[in-house]
């Protein structure tokens, strides 16, 4: 790392992988349509808060600013995660340069990150997850630089990155734990006698303040959400299943991740990042319900290290070998891409998946049909809006004037608000996550409700009259969204405030 090429010589290659990643993400940005969570993020952007039940505020604030610039059409919104993802891939290539890579190593690191399936997926949609590769990559780089230069500015930069990361996703606490232990178990613990690490930690903790203050004012709602999600929503995962899930998540990039982790571990200057990875891995393995993708942002460091390692090896090989390796990265990445982003039409995708022997999967306790949950959650929303709009049109005039639409999950509510905004629908609400905190719509007395996603027995505990008023049928959506009754519920048994308090749920 002491004999690096000038960065101005590396910059064109870093820029090239940035632009290629951006082009790939934008090329498939419309895909199968809106993803469930994107509707929720838009709803949150309409109601800025210091925090939310299920995520901190930064991604929502950035979405609101982006929407003000470009509007809220699907492709325009998805340019934001595409840009962030491209920056993450560019950072991977730049980190390879910092590790000592020259042209081939820089390009290799960038292309491996670009073609990694989990990165293609998280940079396809608007969500807090799109920012993780950028946060973890920058934090790892600043951490190593701070350890080796002892410059206070690097520690300050690390603290700022971690604070922003915590404003985006609480899982950055895992990263912070890994960084702290990597200092303690290496000779770098001597830095604890300096101000730098403590300044970084203090700045980082500032990123938790909005979330902590908000939760103290809302009965620790995020903690309740996490407990419920682990207990009733997420599939239990054994340590072996979590490890095998890494291979599925990374696809053809898995060997590069292994090579890079070894390269990090064998070099004393980069070993702290290998320790950080091991700590985070241990935390996730012992949690019992972690998704395999939770570890994905840490592989930015591994891909960069792999690129730098191979640069040393390639100097002894014929030039044709690196060319073949890079070609294989692109080919294997292209073969894996249809499982991460909507590259193929749905029918062709299903044939492709069957031919590869890949069954639909989910990390949640949900029934599946023909598609994995990742793709199924991009289907059925227009059908749902049409069915609800038809049910509204058939309401008697007296009911129509007093009606509200109540859904049982945030995806349904968000889709009705975004896709149904020109359909003259009654106010839309939900009892799920932050929608429940937003409460009943102003002016709605609760006496007439069109309810989607509930059971008759649940509604009859709260309403005196419950009649099926329609049905949602959607092709290729999640099974629990298909053949859903739309209930017309009238006459609350208790005051609306009491009823609303009773029906809320976080998961």
**How far is the C-alpha of 283 from the C-alpha of 276, rounded, in Å?**
11
What does the pLDDT read at residue 289? Answer: 67
What string of DSSP letters covers 308-329?
HHHHHHHTTS-THHHHHHHHHH
Q: Spell 37-76 as b/e; 16+ CB within 10 A means b.
A: bbbbbbbbbeeebebbbbbbbbbbbbbbebbeeeebebee
Q: What is the mean predicted confidence (pLDDT) over 481-499?
A: 97
Looking at residue 229, what is its pLDDT? 83
pLDDT of 473 strictly over 70 = yes
**pLDDT, tens digit (0-9, with 9 covering 90-100), for 382-398:** 999 999 999 999 999 99
DSSP state letters, 8-50: HHHHHHHHHHHHHHHHHHHHTSSTTS--HHHHHHHHHHTS--S
Helix (H/G/I), strand (E/B), else coil: 222: helix
Q: What is the distance between the alpha carbons of residues 361 and 367, in angstroms, rounded to a whole number?
A: 9
pTM value is 0.95
Q: What is the mean pLDDT of residues 92-121?
A: 96
* Rounded CA separation 218/101 (Å): 49
What pLDDT band is residue 32 in, cutting at 50, 70 and 90?
very high
Q: Calculate mean pLDDT across residues 221-240.
A: 85
Lowest model confidence (mean pLDDT) among 111-115, 119-123, 228-232, 493-497: 228-232
Predicted pLDDT of residue 363: 73
Please give the mean pLDDT across all residues of the chain: 95
**Residue 297 — pLDDT band, cuts 50, 70, 90?**
very high
pLDDT of residue 238: 86
What is residue 291's predicted lDDT score, i.e. its pLDDT?
Answer: 82
pLDDT at residue 362, as a whole number: 78
Task: Summarize pLDDT for 156-183 with one digit per residue, the tens.
Answer: 999 999 999 999 999 999 999 999 999 9
pLDDT of 314 strictly over 80: no
Mean pLDDT of 181-187: 96
Chain position carrying tokens 């870093």: 14
Per-residue pLDDT at 172: 97
pLDDT of amino acid 421: 95
Residue 62 in tokens = 């950035």
**pLDDT at residue 78, as a whole number:** 98
Does residue 1 carry a pLDDT above 70? no
Measured CA to CA, the distance from residue 53 to residue 44 in angstroms comes to 11
pLDDT tens-digit readout, 331-379:
999 999 999 999 999 999 999 999 999 988 877 778 888 999 999 999 9
Q: What average pLDDT score do residues 79-95 get?
A: 98
- The contacts of residue 489 (CB under 8 Å, 6+ apart) are 406, 448, 449, 450, 451, 459, 462, 463, 465, 466, 467
Is it the case that residue 410 has pLDDT exceeding 80?
yes
Task: Give the whole-number percent of the chain exceeding pLDDT 90.
Answer: 87
């Amino acid at each position: 790392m002491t004999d690096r090429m000038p960065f101005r010589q590396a910059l064109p290659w870093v820029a090239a992988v940035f632009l290629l990643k951006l082009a790939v993400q934008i090329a498939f940005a419309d895909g199968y349509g809106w993803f469930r969570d994107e509707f929720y993020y838009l709803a949150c952007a309409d109601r800025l808060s210091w925090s939310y039940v299920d995520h901190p505020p930064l991604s929502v604030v950035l979405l609101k600013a982006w929407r003000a610039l470009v509007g809220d059409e699907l492709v325009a919104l998805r340019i934001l995660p595409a840009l962030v993802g491209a920056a993450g891939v560019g950072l991977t290539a730049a980190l390879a340069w910092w590790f000592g890579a020259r042209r081939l190593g820089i390009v290799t690191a960038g292309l491996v990150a670009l073609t990694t399936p989990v990165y293609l997926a998280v940079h396809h949609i608007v969500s807090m997850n799109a920012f993780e590769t950028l946060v973890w990559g920058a934090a790892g780089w600043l951490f190593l630089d701070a350890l080796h230069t002892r410059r206070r500015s690097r520690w300050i930069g690390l603290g700022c990155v971690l604070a922003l990361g915590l404003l985006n996703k609480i899982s950055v606490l895992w990263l912070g734990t890994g960084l702290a232990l990597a200092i303690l178990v290496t000779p770098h613990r001597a830095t604890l006698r300096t101000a730098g690490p403590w300044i970084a930690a203090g700045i980082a903790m500032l990123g938790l303040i909005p979330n902590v203050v908000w939760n103290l004012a809302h009965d620790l709602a995020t903690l309740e959400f996490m407990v419920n999600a682990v207990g009733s929503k997420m599939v239990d995962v054994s340590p072996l299943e979590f490890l095998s899930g890494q291979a599925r998540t990374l696809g053809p990039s898995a060997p590069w991740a292994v090579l890079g982790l070894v390269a990090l571990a064998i070099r004393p200057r980069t070993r702290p990042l290998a320790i950080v990875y091991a700590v985070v891995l241990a935390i996730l393995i012992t949690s019992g319900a972690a998704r395999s993708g939770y570890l994905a942002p840490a592989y930015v460091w591994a891909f960069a290290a792999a690129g730098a390692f191979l640069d040393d090896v390639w100097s002894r090989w014929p030039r044709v070998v690196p060319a073949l390796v890079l070609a294989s990265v692109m080919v294997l990445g292209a073969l894996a891409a249809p499982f991460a982003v909507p590259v193929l039409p749905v029918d062709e995708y299903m044939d492709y998946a069957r031919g590869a022997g890949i069954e639909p999967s989910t990390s949640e306790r949900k029934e599946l049909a023909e598609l994995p949950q990742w793709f199924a959650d991009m289907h059925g929303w227009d059908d749902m809006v049409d069915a609800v709009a038809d049910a509204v049109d058939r309401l008697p005039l007296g009911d129509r004037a007093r009606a509200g639409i109540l859904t049982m999950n945030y995806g349904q509510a968000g889709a009705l608000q975004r896709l149904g905004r020109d359909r003259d629908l009654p106010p839309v609400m939900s009892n799920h996550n932050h929608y429940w905190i937003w409460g009943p719509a102003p002016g709605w007395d609760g006496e007439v409700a069109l309810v989607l996603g509930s059971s008759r027995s649940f509604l009859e505990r709260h309403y005196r009259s419950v009649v099926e008023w329609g049905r949602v049928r959607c092709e290729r959506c999640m099974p629990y969204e298909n053949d859903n009754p739309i209930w017309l519920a009238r006459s609350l048994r208790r005051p609306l405030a009491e009823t609303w308090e009773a029906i809320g749920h976080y998961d």
